[in-house]
Amino acid sequence: SQELEQSPQSLIVQEGKNLTINCTSSKTLYGLYWYKQKYGEGLIFLMMLQKGGEEKSHEKITAKLDEKKQQSSLHITASQPSHAGIYLCGAVTISNFGNEKLTFGTGTRLTIIP
Amino acid sequence: GAGVSQSPSNKVTEKGKDVELRCDPISGHTALYWYRQRLGQGLEFLIYFQGNSAPDKSGLPSDRFSAERTGESVSTLTIQRTQQEDSAVYLCASSLGLSGQGNQPQHFGDGTRLSIL
């Protein structure tokens, strides 16, 4: 089964600073999703990456997919308090029957301090 | 509704009781997923429904867990004879459905926080 390792597990960053979160897969990545979760709430879809080398941005968040390294990174520029939360990467696995499932990493808890 | 709706938002029950959790997916979404998230841990896949196909139950942790879905609408997750280790947030997600290419993002509800006393 596919396993996803996220690093770091937790991160404390001063407001305004940049940061990077990594997600490494034990198997080939066919699709990689990034979600954000706030305590007590569901997951908010951020971005989906499908192709090696693909890079997407939304506001101050940029995600890249390095297919060869089976890795994705999420970069936040000029962090703000609203960025605080748990960031989860999810990898798509597709069975022989075409069933799609997401396997999630254990998450990175981001805290923004003033 | 505009998003995935789950009810109840919180459920506290005694060990040994049965509980039923409900999920209303986004209208038009044919795929529906249930996940479990224990405190401080990642999401654990439980079950997946896609249209009229047989559900993928490979993630259900024991036979005390079951789920149903009527057509492409509401789903219920039932836990029988609850145990304390069942305490977790149960998240439901839906997506536009099977593409076989992993390019349909899942949209999540806010979850049901289940506490077993």
CATH of the domain at B88: 2.60.40.10
- Whether B101 shows a pLDDT value over 60: the answer reads no
Residues in chain A with CB shorter than 8 Å from the CB of B108 are: 35, 42-45
Q: Which residues of chain A have pLDDT under 70?
A: 1-2, 40, 94-100
In angstroms, rounded to a whole number, what is the distance separating the alpha carbons of residues B70 and B74? 6
SS3 A81: helix
**B108 within domain boundaries:** no
C-alpha distances in Å from residue A15, one per residue of A10, A77, A81, B3: 16, 10, 7, 31
In angstroms, rounded to a whole number, what is the distance separating the alpha carbons of residues B108 and A41? 9
Of B31, B93, B102, the CB nearest to A30: B102
- Whether B100 shows a pLDDT value over 60: the answer reads no
- Is the distance from CB of A76 to CB of A16 less than 8 angstroms? no
Give the model confidence (pLDDT) of B17-42 as tens digits: 999 999 999 998 988 999 999 887 78
Third-level CATH fold of A4-113: Immunoglobulin-like (2.60.40)
Q: Which domain holds residue B67?
A: 5-96
Mean pLDDT of B9-23: 97
Domain boundaries, chain A: 4-113
Mean pLDDT of B69-94: 94
Q: Hey, which bits of A1-114 come out as E strands?
A: 4-7, 10-14, 19-25, 32-37, 43-49, 55-58, 61-66, 71-76, 85-94, 100-104, 108-113
pLDDT at res. A79? 96
Domain count, chain B: 1
DSSP B5: E
Of B41, B101, B102, the CB nearest to A106: B41
- Whether B102 shows a pLDDT value over 60: the answer reads no
